[in-house]
Amino acid sequence: MHIHYNLDNFEAIDPVVTIGTFDGVHLGHQEVISELKRISALSGGDSVVFTFEPHPRIVISPLEDSLRLLSTKNEKIRLMEKIGIDHLVIYPFTIGFSKLSYNEFVTNILVEKMKISSLVVGYDHRFGQGRKGDFNSLELLSNRLHFKVEQLSQLLVDNKVVSSTKIRLALEAGDISKANHFLGYRYSLTGKVIEGKQLGRKIGFPTANIETFDNHKLVPGDGVYAVFVQTGGKLYKGMLNVGIRPTVNYNADHKSIEVHIFDFESDIYNSEITLYFVSKIRDEQKFAGIAELREQLVKDRILVLSILSNEDLE
């Protein structure tokens, strides 16, 4: 997969293109990309995904603090690479770019710079300044500028439309099963291990405190989770607590993210760590004392190990 951060030297064979933010690269996005690959294979052209960095809302509404993303740039790259496209364009989203009309965007960028042969869009795709461009606009432009355009119908999973918004709501509610079902893979968080209060170590449950690499990355709702943990190139089982610690300012919504890794004793301070969410086992609780907390953690460990024993590592 070729990655392009601008179009200065972009070259592709009869590009078949799709456009979007693709946050999460969920099953709905995967359906669009699957069709993109099918059309490009039939035509002998290259498959091209055109996306943006940063997320448009960060540029258009810089004071807004509610944006939570399902995937970081690096996660999006890995997901696209796994799907297997020919080209990924990560175009810089600026105020100037946001002011392009849909006509200017299609004419100046897609046709003149990329020389597209076909454009594949989702059922609700809109583009250009103020999102005024729709499928009817595209059809008119495609006839005039000599490229093909195809619109896909909405993807239903369990008779429900898949969307990034629905996945975010599921994660915030701790409904990991629903989120993972709509994503088509396990939701993950990646960050570095930072020093904590080391209370867990004193009661036999040492935890790695995690600071995410992107403070827009969505952290699931408060509670205790069964997770797989990747660090040092290996995968482990673990139980995770997500809570609120107002003095932690970097993680989204001031979340405290602490994972106890089973059968693990290495020092991993400042190391990269990735959590793969499998299931939420309970809400966060306040305990009368350390003894009661430890008693609950022993029960949590038994339940988490039972859940993870029925899950494939990959």
Q: How far is CA 252 from the centre of its chain?
A: 14
Select the more confidently predicted residue: 125 or 19.
19
Q: What CATH number is given for 187-309 in this structure?
A: 2.40.30.30
CB 218, CB 68: distance < 8 Å? yes
The overall pTM is greater than 0.75 = yes
Per-residue pLDDT tens over the stretch 206-235 = 899 999 999 899 999 999 999 999 999 999
Q: What CATH number is given for 2-160 in this structure?
A: 3.40.50.620
Per-residue pLDDT tens over the stretch 16-35 = 999 999 999 999 999 999 99
Q: What is the pLDDT of residue 159?
A: 80
CB 78, CB 118: distance < 8 Å? no
pLDDT tier for residue 245 given thresholds of 50, 70 and 90: low
Average pLDDT over residues 271-281: 98
Q: State whether residue 291 is helix, strand or coil.
A: helix
CB 133, CB 126: distance < 8 Å? yes
Gyration radius of the chain's alpha carbons: 22
Contacts of 134 (CB under 8 A, 6+ apart): 125, 126
Closest CA to 23 of 89, 69, 77, 67: 69
Give domain limits for the chain: 2-160, 187-309
Q: What is the pLDDT of residue 221?
A: 96
